Amino acid sequence: MKKIYIMMLSCLTISALLLSSCKKDSFLTRLPVSDLTQQNFFANANDLNTYCNGFYPSLPGVTSVALDDQQSDNYENNPFNKIVAGQLIAPTAATDNNGQPKWQWDSLRHVNYFLENYQKANAPQTVKNHYVGVARFFRAWFYFRMVKAYGDVPWYGKTIQPNDVASLNKARDSRQLVMDSVMADLNFAVNNINPTGPTGTITKWVALAFQARVALHEGTFRKYHGIAGWEPFLQTASTAALAVMQSGNFKLYTTGNPNKDYLNLFLFYAPSDLQNTEVILGYYYSSTLHVTTPLDGYMTAYGYSLTKGLMNTYLTKAGTPFTALPGYDTQMIKDELANRDPRLTQTVLAPAVTYGNLIGSKRLGTTPTGYQQIKYYDPATPTWNTNYNAGIIFRYGEMLLDYAESKAELASSGTGSFSQGDLDMSVNLLRDRVGMPHLLMSVPLDPVLAATYPNVSGSLQNVLLEIRRERRVELACEGFRYDDLMRWKSGPLLVQRFLGMYFPGLGTYDLDGDGQPDVALVTAKPASPLANVSYFVVGQDIYLSNGNSGNVVVNPTLVKTFTDPKNYYFPIPTTELLLNKNLTQNPGW
């Protein structure tokens, strides 16, 4: 089948619909644009296609995908992330979001306007239904984002007229109503969107992949937050993911090289590239048309770095927990990254590796923890606004994990079954790609994982915890971790002190093992420094957890908080509460 090919090549006139005022009574009642009204548009299938093309700007590009984990315990930034630290304040206006999802409804107005006018087109009903499915996919996309951020929100299934005071001042609808409506939209999309189509379109398989993602999130959120009705969502998640798995249209990208394939999965440029065997929905760019991104610049110049907590999650090459090794917490980075799951050094730059312009032993300082992300980094385009490798919005690997988690959650609670066969057709395919031992149903309970996720229980506790490990490892730096913590009710993990690489004390260190010193930790910089050595004054340039020894601490004075239920949701902008007196603020804000 043809893969999804979304390119930022032009700004269609219809995309102006996505750029409207922050006032709800403006963007809910505004006609899209003067020349695209029901009187002179929606004449044929081509008009439907043109209009639906205007929905795609709401999808995330590669920079968002690759860096969204910074809002989680996978990253430690300098300066720190306010959402992670629990220091977000309620914004005044919808456009003043301070990093939180925006309380803006313009893209919903765009979708609902289409759904009220598409029938005017002179086209077969099956063709119309395809485009209705695309529109409802994007309405589900909008509301899934809103429910994750705010919980109960008003459901608008139609455009709002200026004199419709009741709708403009509507209170929140229940999470049940909104998510049932989201699933209804996705059911329609799955049943009516074409299974194949021109590049640049949503297909049935994209809709199924999104349905699996939404249902897994909602089912586990309800289960771990004590909200009734979680089982049907998890059943839908496993069914939707399995449908993608059994379609025969996708497979894991591999060339048989476990030490490079995972890294190279995220380094490709066009739908014709071999990596697209795994891509269900991609976001593409073009060097020849100068459609590029600043991704590589962001990854190396803005104080982004990964955490030791993420490093500790990766298994040893033998398939055993790294945290079970004696002295694991005092290993220096060269030994720490050796003999581990190959995905570790295909996600993080090893000290002995030079990757384009990145020299592993020289990253401390620009990479505060010492753990430099290379997943999604293109060594051929290391400067600002030159990057054009594709971003992956949905991929087959995610479907394998969605299937395993949703089915195991049900079975662990007494609904249905989960077997070694289920692991072999999901998690173990991911492990095969990187040459790791298979996950077995009899895997010993890891006490570190059990302490990390204390609310996991049931007959498959050991397996569920390992599936969570696999998800964190396989999907690291793809923007999933924050949502996973929220749905698992694991927000307190954000309060932990995030650590970096370990140093046993002051002195000079050969990080890459080439016999030449790379880094020196000192109390004062010497008058005659050694060539090619980076000096760091402890307590000034760098901070360690035990004073003059220990793990790097990036924000030593930071006090973080996480309050339940407050920090599981974002605050509604205060001006919106003034505009609509029937809205109520989320608890704690």
Beta-ladder partners of 463: none
Assess whether pLDDT exceeds 60 at residue 255: yes
Evaluate the omega torsion of the peptide bond into residue 79 and state whether it is cis, within 30 degrees of 0. Answer: yes
pLDDT at 19: 29
Q: How many Å apart are CA 95 and CA 102, to the nearest integer?
A: 7
Indicate the average pLDDT of the chain.
Answer: 92
Query: What distance in Å separates the CA atoms of residue 45 and residue 19, rounded to the nearest whole number?
Result: 25
pLDDT in tens, 448-500: 999 999 999 999 999 999 999 999 999 999 999 999 999 999 999 999 999 99
Band the pLDDT of 178: cuts 50, 70, 90: very high
Residue at token pair 């398989």: 205
Q: What percent of the chain lies above the pLDDT cut of 70?
A: 93
Per-residue confidence (pLDDT) for residue 6, from 0 to 100 = 41
Q: Is the pLDDT of residue 112 over 90?
A: yes
Section 322-351 average pLDDT: 98
pLDDT band with cut points at 50, 70 and 90 for residue 2: very low
Q: Residues 148-163: what's their mean pLDDT?
A: 96
**167 or 14, greater pLDDT:** 167
- Average confidence (pLDDT) over 37-59: 89
Q: In what order do the strands lie in the sheet with 519-522?
A: 507-509, 519-522, 534-537
**Highest-confidence range of 39-43, 284-288, 342-346, by mean pLDDT?**
342-346
Peptide bond into 565 cis (omega under 30): yes
Residue 550 and residue 506: Cα distance in Å, rounded?
A: 10
From the number of C-beta atoms within 10 Å of its C-beta (0-12, 13-18, 19+), residue 524 rates as exposed
pLDDT recorded at residue 99: 75
Q: How far apart are CA 544 and CA 532, in angstroms?
A: 23
Measure the N-to-C terminal CA separation of the chain; round to a whole number of Å: 48
For residue range 201-231, list pLDDT tens digits in order: 799 999 999 999 999 999 999 999 999 999 9
Domain ranges for the chain: 50-284+390-498+554-588
pTM summary value:
0.93
Per-residue pLDDT tens digits for 346-367: 999 999 999 999 999 999 989 9
> What are the start-end ranges of the H helices in 170-203?
175-192
Phi-psi region of 406 (alpha: psi -120 to 50; beta: other; left: phi over 0): alpha
pLDDT band, very low/low/confident/very high, at 566 (cuts 50, 70, 90) = very high
Contact 572, 97 (CB under 8 A): no
What distance in Å separates the CA atoms of residue 579 and residue 294, rounded to the nearest whole number?
A: 37
Whether pLDDT at 22 is above 60: no
56-74 b/e (C-beta count within 10 Å ≥ 16 → b): bbbbebbbebbbbbbbbbb
Q: Identify the CATH assignment for 50-284+390-498+554-588 out of 3.30.420.40, 3.30.470.10, 3.20.20.100, 1.25.40.390.
A: 1.25.40.390
Contacts of 447 (CB under 8 A, 6+ apart): none
Q: Starting at the edge strand that comes first in sequence, how are the strands of the sheet with 391-395 ordered?
A: 5-7, 279-284, 391-395
Q: What is the pLDDT of residue 39?
A: 59
